[in-house]
């Protein structure tokens, strides 16, 4: 327990922060009025974890495991995080993607009890007062969504609340950021999803989202309120509609401590995978040509990050832009198109219009093919074979989620490239065997980046998060893939090591923040030891 509880009896057992369940000692049971309320046996935390594992093994699906773990978190927070941190590789897919897609689709139907905060349009003019209802003053990370673009599911309104909850669980499970400083928030602005609005169990506003001008005013009041009520808080924007995501990151990145994981996190983990792949190829970033299928917030964010990274290598901005080609549902981003956003116009090429990905590949001869289109199966055999003809080791990253939206599978990429593809996906595909060789597909999953970045920001308290910090996070991650792993085609460290990976990355990011003069705390002598001293460890106090 954090301190001697003031609660007694069933009130103590119903408090998730203080509850120890069967781990309460005999002395504690007498002192806190728990005698007779618990079975006789006093158990260790590890024994409790063993029981939870057995319960989970008996569940028929990951959705049921998610529901069970959500109940556990509401009953005993320490035990919940001990379970997650006992095997992150096992539990990340349950509390995060891909299970979260099913969770969000059914969120209103499987809702049990409140977690986080719901700020609706009806609260305009009093958002500060509403935020003060949160019982913790020292909120350091607030993950906020509108539910406008969730895991390839589109606009699902308040059903998207599963995403901030899951993201912040991983801040702790993968980055050891203390859970008490984390706050998931749903901005309920309505939904374009008419089926949800007609669902009698839907928990959100039954209206269309407001026009941009009205939404701007609402978001500005919210951001100002957060800065006032939680002055040391970092705003983590998550799964906003693509145009809104780009708009609000650009608007607030220099006005508030904020970060958009769909844009910057996806960019960083993609860049890390590219850095590792290029170590395998013994090539530089500046030697590559990049083709994106998908030109929404993730595609544009990754393209922008690549421009920043290429500029760090000495390339001019225009030369960097020239190496990047993007396509979307309306075809190639080229100068004759009249429907491009300002962010897309930056990458428009003086080329003939085309909807043919294969033709564009033959024209621009990319070395790297990145899929952020949610167009399942778009990387066909012809596409992969064309990439393999152009490149001895083509880099192919189909990043779309969930599985039905993946542009190709790992097995397809390896088979169609005759085992030459350097592959990473948004999903973790199983190992593949081809011609007597075993291939190890990488997962370009953002949880390799945002928990580490979060831990570094939690420690150093910068005023802003810059692209340079995010690029440093990518290099810190890539440098943890050792030569033996690269020889096997691995592009990312093992997920089983995610906590140590995150702490190592956080220490390096923190050092970079100090070197840039961006930290607002005193620099310690041993940054790694200092970072470790700030991490959360799920255990019961004596």
Q: What is the DSSP letter of 517?
A: T
3-class SS at 371? strand
Produce one character per residue of 374-386: b if its CB has 16 or more CB atoms within 10 Å, e if not. bbbebbeeebbeb
- From the list 453, 451, 398, 450, the residue with the least C-alpha distance to 428 is 398
- In the 3-class helix/strand/coil scheme, how is 275-303 assigned residue by residue? HHHHHHHCCCHHHCCEEEECCCHHHHHHH
Residues in Cβ contact with 422 at an 8 Å cutoff, skipping those fewer than 6 apart: 277, 280, 281, 393, 394, 395, 396, 489, 491
Catalytic pick among 167, 248, 252, 414? 167
Secondary structure in 3-state letters for 314-366: CCCHHHHHHCEEEEECCEECECCCCCCCHHHHCCCECCCCCCCHHHHHHHHCC
Q: Is 437 helix (H, G, I), strand (E, B) or coil?
A: strand
Phi/psi zone of residue 209: left (φ > 0), alpha (ψ -120 to 50 degrees), beta?
beta
Give φ, ψ of 296 to 5 degrees.
-90, -155
Residues 6+ apart with CB under 8 A from 370: 270, 290, 291, 292, 293, 294, 299, 302, 397, 399
- For residue 6, give every residue at least 6 positions away whose Cβ sits within 8 Å of its Cβ, in sequence order, or none: none
Cα→Cα distances 171→100, 419, 528, Å: 16, 35, 18
Tokens of 62: 């990951």
> 96, 171, 259, 458: which one is catalytic?
96
Residue among 328, 262, 319 at smallest CA distance from 295 = 328
How far, in Å, CA of 542 to CA of 24, rounded? 10
Give the burial class of 346: count Cβ atoms within 10 A of its Cβ; 0-12 exposed, 13-18 middle, 19 or more buried: middle
Q: Give the span between the Cα atoms of 495 and 428, in whole angstroms.
A: 10
The b-or-e profile of 487-517 (16+ CB within 10 A means b, else e) is eebbbbbebeebbebbbbbbbbbbbbbbeee
**In terms of Cα–Cα distance, which of 17, 381, 343, 331 is closest to 178?**
17
- 258-260 vs 234-237, strand pairing mode: parallel
- How far from the centroid of its chain's Cα atoms is residue 329's Cα? 24
Judge whether 96 counts as a catalytic residue: yes
Known catalytic residues? 96, 167
């Amino acid at each position: 327990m954090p301190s001697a509880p003031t609660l007694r009896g069933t009130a103590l057992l119903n408090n998730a922060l203080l509850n120890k369940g069967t781990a309460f000692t005999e002395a504690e049971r007498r002192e806190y009025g728990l005698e007779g309320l618990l079975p006789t046996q006093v158990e260790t935390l590890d024994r409790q974890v063993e029981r939870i594992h057995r319960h989970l093994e008996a569940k028929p699906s990951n959705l049921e495991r998610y529901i069970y773990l959500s109940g556990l978190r509401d009953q005993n927070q320490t035990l919940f995080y001990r379970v997650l941190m006992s095997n992150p590789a096992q539990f990340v897919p349950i509390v995060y993607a891909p299970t979260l897609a099913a969770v969000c689709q059914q969120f209103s139907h499987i809702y049990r009890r409140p977690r986080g905060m719901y700020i609706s349009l009806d609260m305009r003019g009093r958002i500060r007062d509403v935020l003060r209802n949160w019982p913790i003053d020292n909120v350091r990370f607030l993950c906020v969504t509108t539910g406008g673009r969730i895991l390839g599911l589109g606009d699902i309104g308040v059903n998207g609340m599963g995403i901030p909850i899951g993201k912040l669980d991983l801040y702790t499970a993968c980055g050891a950021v203390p859970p008490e400083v984390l706050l998931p928030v749903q901005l309920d602005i309505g939904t374009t999803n008419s089926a949800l609005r007609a669902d009698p169990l839907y928990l959100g506003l039954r209206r269309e989202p407001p026009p941009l001008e009205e939404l701007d005013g609402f978001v500005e009041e919210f951001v100002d309120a957060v800065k006032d009520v939680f002055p040391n808080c970092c705003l983590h924007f998550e799964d906003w509609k693509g145009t809104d995501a780009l708009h609000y990151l650009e608007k607030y990145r220099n006005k508030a401590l904020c970060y958009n994981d769909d844009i910057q996190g996806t960019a960083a983990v993609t860049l890390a995978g590219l850095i590792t792949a290029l170590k395998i190829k013994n090539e530089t970033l500046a030697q590559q040509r990049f083709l994106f299928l998908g030109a929404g917030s993730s595609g544009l964010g990754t393209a922008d990050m690549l421009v920043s990274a290429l500029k760090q290598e000495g390339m001019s901005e225009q030369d960097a832009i020239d190496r990047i080609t993007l396509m979307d549902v309306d075809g190639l981003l080229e100068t004759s198109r009249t429907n491009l956003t300002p962010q897309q116009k930056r990458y428009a090429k003086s080329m003939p219009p085309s909807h043919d990905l294969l033709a564009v590949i033959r024209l621009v001869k990319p070395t790297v093919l990145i899929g952020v289109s949610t167009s399942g199966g778009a990387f066909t055999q012809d596409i992969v074979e064309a990439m393999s003809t152009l490149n001895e080791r083509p880099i192919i990253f189909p990043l779309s989620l969930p599985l039905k939206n993946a542009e190709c599978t790992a097995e397809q990429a390896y088979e169609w490239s005759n085992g030459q593809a350097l592959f990473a996906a948004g999903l973790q595909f199983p190992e593949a065997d081809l011609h007597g060789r075993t291939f190890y597909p990488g997962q370009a999953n953002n949880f390799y980046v945002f928990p580490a970045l979060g831990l570094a920001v939690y420690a150093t308290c910068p005023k802003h998060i810059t692209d340079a910090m995010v690029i440093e996070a990518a290099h810190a991650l890539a440098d943890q893939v050792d030569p033996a792993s690269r020889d096997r085609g691995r592009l990312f460290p093992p997920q089983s090591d995610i906590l140590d990976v995150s702490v190592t990355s956080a220490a390096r990011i923190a050092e970079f923040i100090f070197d840039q003069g961006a930290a607002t705390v005193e620099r310690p002598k041993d940054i790694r030891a200092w970072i470790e001293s700030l991490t959360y460890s799920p255990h019961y106090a004596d």
